[in-house]
Amino acid sequence: MTQLTLITRSGTHDVPVELNETVVAIAKKHKVTWGHACQRGLCAQCRTQVLEGASFLNEITSEEKLRLRKAERAEGFRLGCQIRIVEQGNVKLAHRPY
């Protein structure tokens, strides 16, 4: 069984992979605190670092290109409201707000 690991300030949470759902939606469903406000890619409160499993995620969205600097994206930063798991596999993400 594939696993989604969410790392927050309150600890590490292992939840089931849910295809085509945003990370913010998955966290909310499993009562994992994952800061967010707009859910449209504007506020960046859901800034997330992909630690493992980037190949199982959707491509970087235009919202992420507008909000995150190129250097951040190169370091694996994405927006939790834009990240969707599109293929089964183990994914590890860390909530890293500014």
Structure confidence at residue 42 (pLDDT)? 87
pLDDT in tens, 53-90: 999 999 999 999 999 999 999 999 999 999 999 999 99
Distance CA 54, CA 50 (A): 6
pLDDT in tens, 24-41: 999 999 999 999 888 888
What is the pTM assigned to this prediction?
A: 0.93
Check: CB of residue 96 under 8 Å from CB of residue 9.
no
